[in-house]
Amino acid sequence: MILSVTAQQIANAISAGKGGKTVLRAHHYNAVAGQTEFENSDRDGTLLSYIINSMFVTVNGVTLTNVTDYSATTGTKVIFHRALDSGDEVGIYSTVFGGGGINIEDSAVVTSGAQTVIDQFAHLGAMRSAEYIVHMDDSSIGHSRVSKVLITYNRSIVNFTEFGVLTTFGGDSDMGLLSADETGGIIRLKFNKAAGTGNVRIKTNKTII
């Protein structure tokens, strides 16, 4: 089930919203006595999928607190920290970008060489494509970089290409490598920071089709 909501409603419920056309995906479950984990299909037959850190959970209409009341770290399962009662109404809601227009993300700072997810969006089971402009800068070495990225998803695999790279680096030096994948209903843009760089700040501007 997909519910249209206002930007203010989303802002009141979760800490981080997204620009452009945003909709709310809703999953509803009826708990059995002692149940603590919710995953797989909801009562409407829709597989549970949410964006980590861009979702909220209710029980009998009361909004719970992430980490304190439940854990939601996989994108496909929610674990409550106490057993629920029989018949409790559970709602799991996640913001998703509805497609079209421009979606400007806040900047992210990558501090380690570990692979880092710098942006993500739900494909909702459909074939989706996205175009990114990705800006990077590293103040410790005084360089910046910008490129374009195209991603397309066919319900099976994600194909990725990067082009139009413009950088202030000389030679073959660079800040790191971008890549993309899909997991749990989410298409992710990822970054591996190159050795010898400082903290790399990344800003993305994307159009989803």
Tens place of pLDDT for every residue, the chain, 209 residues? 444 344 444 444 443 433 344 456 789 999 999 999 999 999 988 888 887 777 889 999 888 998 999 999 888 899 999 999 999 999 998 865 554 444 444 567 888 888 888 888 878 778 889 999 999 998 788 899 999 999 999 999 999 999 999 998 765 558 899 999 998 778 889 999 988 888 999 988 888 88
**Which residues are 202's β-sheet partners?**
108, 136
User: pTM of the predicted model, to two decimals?
Assistant: 0.55
Strands 186-193 and 77-80: unpaired
Domains of the chain: 2-97 (no CATH), 102-208 (2.60.40.1680)
52-65 burial, b for 16+ CB within 10 Å, e for fewer? eebbbbbbeeeebe
Task: Kindly state the helix (H) or strand (E) to which residue 22 belongs, with its residue range.
Answer: strand 22-30
Question: What pLDDT is recorded for position 24?
Answer: 67
Question: What pLDDT is recorded for position 83?
Answer: 97
Question: What pLDDT is recorded for position 15?
Answer: 38
> Which residues contact residue 158 at a Cβ distance below 8 angstroms, ignoring those fewer than 6 apart?
151, 152, 180, 181, 182, 187
